[in-house]
Amino acid sequence: MKLSLFRERVAAIQNEPELRSYFMDVAGRLVGARAWGLDLLDSNSQVIESELYGLADTFRDRYQALGQDADSVSQWMIQHHIPVHNLSIQTPQAWQQSRLYQQLFKGYGIEHGMVGPLVANGRLIGGVYFMRGTHFSPFCDADLIRLSSLCLHLSVRLATLRIPASVANSFFRTLTRRELEIAEFVAQGLNNREISMSLGISRDGVKQALKRMFRKLGVSARAEMIAKLKS
């Protein structure tokens, strides 16, 4: 499945349950994985909602019994808010000797794992993960690039879907859906070129949209706009 189709579909989804359901339906085709999942986190990075496809529920139960400290890959993602796979931070030998591999992955025929962050309004709100078995190739840098794009669009859509319920400031109700997406991209630190590439519009289109947004919100800079978004 092409990422462009995924982005278009995600942008059109109108509620969070539908967004999560859609991700779980198509995620395996986007990355090429045997199993995948999505976790939502609270402010202490504890899982409050979790979905898993491709493995028995006992896998999740045993993962929880091991504890987050056994999962250095996810811990790295939580600390740095960047996509990472098992061989990004460990040698193949160290990975195969790890508690996570020996006490969990190996028993379920899983050889490799990759995880990416979901970020909204500057805060980690969840993560998505993928696993490959013995007959799959290891995750590589190209997979991380694909995962980064996937996480970015999921994060932005989650953030924009949550804004009406979480932001009391009525100014933001004057922004269009596309303007809310641009605001969240700005909040995640993307420049005009990166935003234009992510949305498939020109840099001038992004620039003009930001000018309109500034006028609507009564601000003159990105930092002021983001401060209002986070208020």
Both 149 and 175 in one domain: the answer is: no
pLDDT at residue 46 in the model: 84
Count of domains observed in the chain? 2
Q: Domain check: are 44 and 92 in the same one?
A: yes
Output the tens digit of pLDDT for each of the chain's 231 residues. 788 889 889 988 888 999 999 999 999 999 999 999 999 998 887 889 999 999 998 999 999 999 888 999 999 999 999 999 999 999 999 999 999 999 999 999 999 999 999 988 778 999 999 999 988 899 999 999 999 999 998 998 888 787 654 454 555 677 887 888 888 888 877 899 989 988 888 999 999 999 999 988 888 888 888 777 666
CATH of the domain at 133: 3.30.450.40
One domain, residues 21 and 65: yes
Across the strands, what pairs with 171?
none
Residues 6 or more apart whose Cβ sits within 8 Å of residue 136: 32, 33, 34, 111, 112
For residues 124 and 45, is the Cβ–Cβ distance under 8 A? yes
End position of a domain, from candidates 144, 161, 178: 161
pLDDT given at position 135: 86
Q: Which letter, b or e, does each residue of 39-61 get, where b requires 16 or more Cβ atoms within 10 Å of its Cβ?
A: bbbeeebeeeeebbebbeeebbe
Domain span at 12: 3-161
Beta strands in the chain (DSSP E): 35-41, 47-53, 84-85, 110-120, 123-133
Tell me 42's DSSP state.
-
Helix (H) or strand (E) holding 148: helix 141-166
Task: Describe the chain by its helix, strand, coil percentages, rounded to 5.
Answer: 60, 15, 20
Same domain, 157 and 76: yes
Domain co-membership, 203 together with 150: no
What pLDDT sits at residue 169?
Answer: 53
pTM: predicted TM-score of the whole model, two decimal places: 0.80
